[in-house]
Amino acid sequence: MGIFGLYTLGWPYVLDAYVLFMVCLGTVIGIVVGTLPGLTTTMSVAVMTPLTFTMSPQAAFALLMGTYCGAQYGCAISAVLVNIPGTPAGLMTILDGYPMAQRGEAGRALGLSIWGSFIGGIVGIAVLGFFAPPIAEFALRFGSQEYFGVMVFGLSVIVYVSYGSMIKGLFSGLLGILLGCIGFDPVTAYPRYYFGSVDLMGGLELIPMMIGCFGVAELLSIAEKKMSLPKAIYKITIRSLFPTLVEFIKLIPTLIRSSLIGLFIGILPAAGGTIASIVAYGVEKRCSKNPERFGHGAPEGVTAAETANNSSTGGAMIPFLTLGIPGDAVTAVLIGALLIHGLQPGPMLFQNNPEVVSSMFILLALSNFLFVIFGIVWANGFARLINVSYGIMVPTIMTLCVVGSYAIRNSFFDIGVLGFFGILGFLMKKVEMSPAPMVLGFILGPMIENNLRRGLISSFGDFSTFFTRPLSALFLSLTLLVLVSPYIVQLFTGRKMERIVETD
Amino acid sequence: MGKADITVGVLMLALCGFAFSQALQFPGSESVVGGLGPAFFPLFVITGMAILGLVVLIRGLVTMAKPKAADLSLGMLRTPALLLCIVAAYVMLMGLTGFSVSTPLFLIGVMLIWRVQWTKAALVGLGLTLILYIFFQKVLRIPLPSGILFGG
């Protein structure tokens, strides 16, 4: 694929009435779900995945990419209006967005987050389109040993950025790997941990597990807290959503800095929008002439957080598409979606289905334009959604979870899997153990085992092969560094390193 | 986390013990020439899990003296447990009567328990069922359960 292939190859597939309808539908659904307080981006994409089952890959990703982008923006609405972050990245939007809304500038804050998200998103997609094909090309030369190294590294970073204690995060990741062992073993086809059940022999189904962990578990938490929300009573005029020319020019440096920060952080495997928005916010505060305004409704704060958050989404796509490593919970869900369409993410995807990769990039860009349009035209309608009571929201989404899990292979057994992981995910959150590493471990585990065992067969059982091949050795050393560094920092400074709080 | 950590640590170790005893029955590495058998990887992962479980347990025992408010209690699980029971009943009913009868009952039932207005609950319950039915069955052509009482 040439440099511009990523931008051009997919157009014939995208310019189709059905696909275009799906991307519009996805964007609206995403904004709606993102706006509803307590519902996360990951959850919205996970719940939508089974619906794409019978669609073409392009239509499926139109719906999912639209949902992804829409939900990213929708979270800003609940952050600004009622002080509740839909996603972890929303934490930084709250800091200045909510004070602005209280000052009667809700429209202005929303406008800034729309335009910041849009510019960040477009920059991310445009620049990273250049990087993805060469990285994929390079990764084609990877053998089992290199894949083993990269995947172990991916898993370690994911554990690091999940909330709660790192020990529990690691346990959660390993538990996922163990769950991935259920069913036929990849080399000898010996059935493991199937307990005499035919349904378990082929392994656990990924989608019901994910919907359980990210959907049902979340709904149970909402039911427990019986969230009663402050009513949002702000009236938003369409005019207020457009910043003035003077204001926009003043924000240009912020936009550039935050886009670049988001971009850079997004490329790192597993370091997604949350870290990007935190870093961008911090940098902006330091660059500002009057940093004391930050936290009391500074427009730069909202812009920086939203811009960096969205420019990192293009970046997070890179390890996901080129290496097949999920960067965060959302890309893990997207891997599940690719798999149900018979597509294996990784460098071969660029070789075998370049049109699919390209249409994903185009659809991502398209949904960036769409959420701006819908976000502006229906701003008041979306804002009113916040007042929907949990009594309607919870059963509605629960129905979608149940029906979606059933629909994957018309199986009531999968509804059981959904329930099991719903309860497990809920209880894990109660004891400060994030379920996200478990899902990622479940995806990566079988790949890690497969590459480990194939690597060993090709080296005739010699383990040193993983440490003597340079790239594999590099990634394994990085893994060690990631896992040990917080403790070393603690040892030298006598202070605990602050960890990123991730709520989904 | 104090006490909760002890419970969690014990549960983690119990899980490891169970998975370990199962994995011992898998064929070992002698079954594959120059490679690893089906038992190696699970055993390796379980060992890691057991070490982590032990760390959590020990940390729980050490910090037990200073309990925090965040410990688990059964009282706060009442609403989620109720919701789960209703969902389980819904799924069982779906097996009997099919999607289109059980879904509105479930939706309207939960909404009424949570004091949503009668009219609103009925409207959302019936409307959503209809939308989902059309979307899955007609647009996506994914069959929904028709139940053993009414369909085949």
Where does A182-227 show beta strands of DSSP type E?
A: 183-184, 191-192
Does the beta-carbon distance from B116 to A223 stay under 8 Å?
A: no
What is the ipTM, given to two decimal places? 0.91
Distance from CA of B25 to the nearest CA of A (A): 9
- pLDDT band for A471, please (50, 70, 90 cuts): confident
Question: What's the maximum distance between 2 C-alpha atoms anywhere in chain B?
Answer: 69
Does the beta-carbon distance from B91 to A412 stay under 8 Å?
A: yes
Residue bearing tokens 């349009």:
A373
Write the Ramachandran bin of A497: left for phi over 0, alpha for psi from -120 to 50, otherwise beta: beta
CB-based burial label for A3 (10 Å; 0-12, 13-18, 19+): exposed
Q: How far is CA A18 from CA A23, A47, A56, A62, in A?
A: 9, 20, 10, 9
| CB contact burial A434-472 (16+ within 10 A = b; e otherwise) | bbbbbbbbbbbbbbbbbbbbbbbbebeeeeebbeebebb
Alpha-carbon distance of A43 to A49, in angstroms, equals: 10
pLDDT score for A223: 84
For A148, the token pair is: 């083993």
The residue-averaged pLDDT of A455-472 equals 84
Using an 8 Å CB-CB cutoff, list chain B residues near A460: 34
> In terms of pLDDT, which residue wins out, A1 or A379?
A379
Residue bearing tokens 């000052």:
A103
Q: Does B57 touch chain A (CB under 8 A)?
A: no
As a three-state string, the secondary structure of A266-303 is HHCCCCCHHHHHHHHHHHHHHHCCCHHHCCCCCHHHHH
In terms of DSSP bridges, do strands A191-192 and A183-184 run parallel, antiparallel, or are they unpaired? antiparallel
For A305, the token pair is: 């957080």
CB-CB contact of A271 with A265 (8 Å): yes
Q: How far is CA A285 from CA A90, A262, A311, B102, in A?
A: 17, 16, 19, 54
The residue-averaged pLDDT of A421-444 equals 87
Please give the model's pTM, rounded to 2 decimal places.
0.83
**Nearest CB neighbour to B124, from listed A392, A412, A422:** A392
CB-CB contact of A417 with A213 (8 Å): no
Tell me the residue length of chain B: 152
- pLDDT band for A500, please (50, 70, 90 cuts): very low
- Tell me: the pLDDT tens digits for B27-76? 877 666 666 788 889 999 999 999 999 999 998 888 876 555 455 566 67
CB-CB contact of A73 with A113 (8 Å): yes
Reference A394, options A233, A221, A254; nearest CA is: A221
The residue-averaged pLDDT of B14-28 equals 89
**Nearest CB neighbour to B79, from listed A177, A224, A395:** A224
- pLDDT band for A424, please (50, 70, 90 cuts): very high
Sign of CA dihedral A232, A233, A238, A239: negative
Residue bearing tokens 């804050």:
A109
Alpha-carbon distance of B152 to A260, in angstroms, equals: 58
Using an 8 Å CB-CB cutoff, list chain A residues near B142: 53-54, 407
Does the beta-carbon distance from B88 to A419 stay under 8 Å?
A: yes
pLDDT score for B106: 95
For A282, the token pair is: 């911090």
The residue-averaged pLDDT of A345-363 equals 87
The residue-averaged pLDDT of A447-468 equals 85
Identity of the highest mean pLDDT range in A9-13, A451-455, B27-31, B97-101: B97-101
The residue-averaged pLDDT of A154-163 equals 66
The values of phi and psi at residue A9, to 5°, are -55, -35
User: What letter represents residue A183's amino acid?
Assistant: G
Q: Of the ranges A19-28, A455-464, A467-476, which one carries the lowest mean pLDDT score?
A: A455-464
Does the beta-carbon distance from B38 to A188 stay under 8 Å?
A: yes
Return the percentage of chain A with pLDDT > 70, whole number.
90
A residues 376..415 contacting B (CB < 8 A): 389-392, 394-396, 398-400, 402-403, 406-407, 410, 412, 415
A residues 54..83 contacting B (CB < 8 A): 54-55
Radius of gyration of chain A (CA): 22
Q: Is the pLDDT of residue B26 over 90?
A: no
- pLDDT band for B152, please (50, 70, 90 cuts): very low
- Tell me: the pLDDT tens digits for A55-78? 888 999 999 999 988 888 888 887
Distance from CA of B17 to the nearest CA of A (A): 13
- Tell me: the pLDDT tens digits for B104-141? 999 999 999 888 889 999 999 999 999 988 888 887 77
pLDDT score for B50: 95
Using an 8 Å CB-CB cutoff, list chain B residues near A412: 91, 95, 145
pLDDT score for B32: 66
pLDDT score for B65: 61
Q: How far is CA A183 from CA A179, A203, A285, in A?
A: 9, 4, 52
Alpha-carbon distance of A118 to A76, in angstroms, equals: 13
**Nearest CB neighbour to A396, from listed B1, B84, B107:** B107
Q: Is the pLDDT of residue A492 over 80?
A: no
- 3-state secondary structure (DSSP) of residue A498: coil
For A184, the token pair is: 């036929």
Q: How far is CA A124 from CA A127, A355, A364, B140, in A?
A: 6, 20, 10, 33
Q: Is the pLDDT of residue B17 over 90?
A: yes
Return the percentage of chain A with pLDDT > 90, whole number.
15
The residue-averaged pLDDT of A307-311 equals 87
Q: Is the pLDDT of residue A88 over 80?
A: no
Mean per-residue pLDDT over chain A, rounded: 83
